[in-house]
Amino acid sequence: MKRLAVLTSGGDAPGMNAAIRAIVRASVYYNAEIYGVYRGYKGLMEGELVHMDAASVGDIVHKGGTILKSARSKAFKTEEGRSKAVEQLNAFGIDGLVVIGGDGSFMGAEKLNELGFPTIALPGTIDNDLNYTDYSIGFDTAVNTVLEAVTKIRDTSTSHEKATIIEVMGRNCGDIALHAGVSGGAESIIIPEEPVDTAEVIAKLRKGQKQGKEHQIIMLAEGANQAQLLQNELLERAEVNARVSVLGFIQRGGDPTGRDRILASKMGVRAVEMLLNGVSNHAVGIRHDKLYEIPIADALKEEKQLDEEMYKLTQILSI
């Protein structure tokens, strides 16, 4: 009987639990044993492995965060740390590991494969900054969380007839801002992939004022600028007194959307099937609504492609 393990690492994301559930249940379905590793690579090095069964993952598909906890580990970045991790995996008799996390976690997974340990990586990050996949687990929930905030901010901005800069997460990726901006009806969307001159933002604000808009929303990706800097610039250059709302970590929490749960479920089952079929050193991604497998090294090399169609929407809809 094969014995597999799963861990969540780096920044947590809603839907990680649905992925853990899928991995555990698929392992049981295919007659494999499954262990959960607590606290990512840190827990792996320290041997925090626990046997799981179908019941261990009951009642978690709808919950944000990760029941296995997540962590960051500097020690795992050293050869010594990684050999400790492999020693633990061998001591527990594990044959294959699924890592759910962002690009840092993927690098760690690749290193485990280099040491000869079969590992599969699943994209778990709200940032959607793993370019090989159209969507990562957690992204859809984060967009919806931002949308809820936009709706609330709209109410108060309308009352005060003010412009609001909403700064959202995503590191160097503007996807949360782009998707939440389009679906939330933002007047301006500022993302790192498509730098916008502040003069353009000011022109939009002026135009909106002339059109009698009661409020305006500027959706700003954290990788493009800081909300406070933009606020100062708008005040100095155009005497626009905009409000600032930096959404922060609320974007990491919350119940995963149906879409994230489905993505996580599909990817989790696929990861188990891959390991049981002898596939390792691959990541699972989704392109044009179909799951696919790609070597982790290639997944990490993929360059960001701006969704031109989506970006064009921002131009058309915010006139």
| Side-chain half-sphere CA neighbours of 144 within 13 A | 13
Strand partners, 52: 34
Q: Any known ligand binding at 154? A: yes
Dihedral pair phi/psi, residue 126, rounded to 5°: -70, -20
Q: Give the shortest CB-171-to-ligand ADP separation in angstroms.
A: 9
* Residue 270 binds to ligand ADP (criterion: CB under 6 A): no
| Side-chain half-sphere CA neighbours of 291 within 13 A | 18
Whichever of 101 and 184 has its CB closer to ligand ADP, that residue is 101
- Selected range binding ligand ADP among 8-16, 43-51, 59-67, 181-189, rule: CB under 6 A: 8-16
* Residue 43 binds to ligand ADP (criterion: CB under 6 A): no
Q: Give the shortest CB-30-to-ligand ADP separation in angstroms.
A: 27
The CA R_g of the chain, rounded to the nearest whole Å, is 22
Which residues, including other chains, have CB under 8 Å from residue 224's CB and lie 6 or more apart? Answer: 174, 177, 190, 191, 192, 195, 196
Long-range CB contacts for residues 102-105, cutoff 8 Å, separation at least 24:
102/10, 102/11, 102/127, 102/129, 102/130, 102/136, 103/129, 103/130, 103/300, 104/9, 104/10, 104/72, 105/9, 105/10, 105/40, 105/41
3-class secondary-structure state, position 52? strand
Q: Any known ligand binding at 104? A: yes
* Residue 231 binds to ligand ADP (criterion: CB under 6 A): no
Token pair 């596939």: residue: 279
* Residue 215 binds to ligand ADP (criterion: CB under 6 A): no
Q: Give the shortest CB-142-to-ligand ADP separation in angstroms.
A: 13
Whichever of 27 and 105 has its CB closer to ligand ADP, that residue is 105
* Per-residue contact string for residues 61-100; x = within reach of ligand ADP by CB under 6 A: -----------xx--xx-----------------------
Respond yes or no: is residue 255 known to be catalytic.
no
H-helix or E-strand spanning residue 37: strand 33-37
- Take residue 282 and report the two structure tokens written for it: 């691959």
Which of 17, 105, 231, 245 is the binder for ligand ADP (CB under 6 A)? 105
* Residue 103 binds to ligand ADP (criterion: CB under 6 A): yes
Binding residues: 11, 21-25, 72-73, 102-105, 125-127, 154, 169-171, 185-187, 213-215, 222, 243
Residues annotated as catalytic are 127
Q: Residues in the site for ligand ADP, rule: CB under 6 A?
A: 9-11, 41, 72-73, 76-77, 101-105, 107-108, 111, 125
